[in-house]
Amino acid sequence: MLQFFLKRKRFFFLLLLLFIGLTFLAKDVEKKKQYNFFDNILLTVFAFPLNVTTQSINNAIYIWDHYVYLVNVKAENTRLTKKTEKLEIENQLLREEAIENQRLRTLLSFKQKLAYKILPAEIIGRDPSSWFKTILIDKGKLDGVLRGSGVITPQGVVGKVINVALTTSKVLLITDVNSSVDTVVKRTRSSGILEGYGENSCILSYVMKTEQLLADDTIVTSGLNGVYPKGILVGKIHNLSSEKSGFFQFVEVKPSVDFSKLNEVLIVLKEKPAETKNGS
């Protein structure tokens, strides 16, 4: 069958041209207000192909309006969606960078207020186990960090360095049960030892029952052991009670630092700046 059409392709091509020409002629006749005898014959013969042609044109227009156009619209929407997503990611990165810059400015401002030698550090790891509450920071022996150095933020006390490598250090958080910080109650100046008590909680031990403490009393560092500067915020009293037996109160403290959102810290180096030692 294909060979039959290929051998007579010129004939069919001419026939197609003739058919198209007569069809357009019929459409031209159709537009006339009055028909002559020849017009009537032409319209009668080509009524069917004329309808087919008209319907084909209408279908083509319909397909363009309802399919091709929609495909183009969909493609444009896809392009705009990708562009919007890209801009959203860029905005998120810029917002995160702005937040980080603000945190760093706060750290720098806090560092300048302290008389101690302070070393900024970034948290690069956390202990996944539930046995110890520790973090890993990106400063070590090469940066002058010593075992026992205090770690703080502008929000309060974080913990103490318990392990030092060349370029990293491990910090024991104040919420760990092995942690202890010499503190005082800011309002009453009552002294006590802050110890880790749970996931995000501490207890203030060795506070006598005679001390008149209140909920929300502020706890700060005493500065006696030289690990932390005096007056650094530790937390607030969350719960307290006095049992009949014993000499001490049970004082639960909520740390002022949100350890789950911690990114940068300040290391209080054991050695003070030369100008501070000389009193200048």
Environment class of 155 (CB within 10 Å of its CB; exposed 0-12, middle 13-18, buried 19+): middle
In order along its 280 residues, the chain shows pLDDT tens digits of 555 555 555 655 565 555 665 555 555 545 554 545 555 555 565 555 656 666 766 666 666 666 666 667 777 777 777 677 666 666 666 666 676 677 677 767 766 666 678 889 999 998 876 667 899 999 999 999 999 999 999 899 999 999 999 999 999 999 999 999 999 999 999 999 999 987 789 999 999 888 999 999 999 999 888 888 888 899 999 998 877 667 889 999 999 999 988 889 999 987 544 444 444 3
Domain borders along the chain are: 2-66, 114-269
- Concatenate the DSSP letters of all residues of the chain into one string: -HHHHHHTHHHHHHHHHHHHHHHHHHHHHHT-SS--HHHHHHHHHTHHHHHHHHHHHHHHHHHIIIIIHHHHHHHHHHHHHHHHHHHHHHHHHHHHHHHHHHHHHHHHHHHHH-SS-EEEEEEEEE--SSS--EEEES--GGGT--TT-EEEETTEEEEEEEEE-SS-EEEEETTSTT-EEEEEETTT--EEEEEEEETTEEEEES-BTTS---TT-EEEE--SSSSS-TT-EEEEEEEEE--SSSSB-EEEEEESS-GGG--EEEEE-SSPPHHHHTT-
**Matching CATH number, 114-269, of 1.10.760.10, 2.40.10.340, 2.40.110.10, 2.40.30.30:** 2.40.10.340
Task: Count CB atoms within 10 A of the CB of residue 168.
Answer: 19
